[in-house]
Amino acid sequence: MTPKGEEKAQRIVEAATNLFRLYGFKRTSLDLLAAEAGVAKPTIYAYFADKDAIFRAVVESLCEELLTAAQAASQSSLPLDEKLAAMLSAKFTRSWELIHSSPHARELHDSQGRLGAETVKRADRAFLKLLVACLQDAEELDLEQAGLSVTAAAQLLVRGASGASYDATSTTMHKRLIAELVRVLIAGLSRRKLR
């Protein structure tokens, strides 16, 4: 695909991301998508076979975005708890913003499960690897004393951050809930606290 073609396909994906959030999967028509993306309907078909393919492309694009943001956070020089909170927020707060804040959250979640499950699983595995690598480098933690493997600790962080959506009513609150969870967990796993 040429750079111009990639740009057009990306414009379609960005428009679809916005429309799916606003109207849901079922109510987003290809006519509406063409108008939002500023392209003719046949142009959409030049890049995507159907609406399912567009939705899969949206899921892939969002997963890449989340992983890129988490990777950037993992390479920051922040203290461990802030770094982990930033990584988790990159994934879970952004997902909450896009899906859970939509009036069509259930439909989008169902569509994601039907059309993008494999992409999400791959992204989840890649995200877990990032967390594991970050925890492995954290000399201030004593996971063994706590009876946790590095992978188990990373999975615990993921489960906790996933639950931040339960009470969140805003992006700021969602980030704060994740930061509180991470701060408490890291304090409890710190070498100085366990000895």
Distances, alpha carbon 34 to alpha carbons 30, 50, 63, in Å:
6, 13, 23
Could you tell me which of 41, 18, 40 has the C-alpha nearest to residue 28? 18
Apex 184 CA angle, 178 and 187, nearest 5: 135
Give pLDDT tens digits for 106-126.
888 888 888 899 999 999 999
Average pLDDT rounded to a whole number, residues 19-47: 94
CATH architecture of structural domain 3-194: Orthogonal Bundle (1.10)
Residue 132: how many CA atoms within 13 Å on its side-chain side? 12
pLDDT tens track for 35-45: 999 999 999 99
Confidence of residue 194 (pLDDT cuts 50, 70, 90): very low
Reduce the secondary structure of 38-68 to three states and give it as a string. CCCHHHHHHHCCCHHHHHHHHHHHHHHHHHH
Enclosing H/E stretch for 142: none
What is the predicted pLDDT for the residue at 49? 95
Q: Is 147 left (phi over 0), alpha (psi -120 to 50) or beta?
A: left
**pLDDT of 98 above 50:** yes
Quick: pLDDT tens for 143-190. Answer: 888 899 999 999 999 999 999 888 888 999 999 999 999 999 999 888
pTM: 0.87
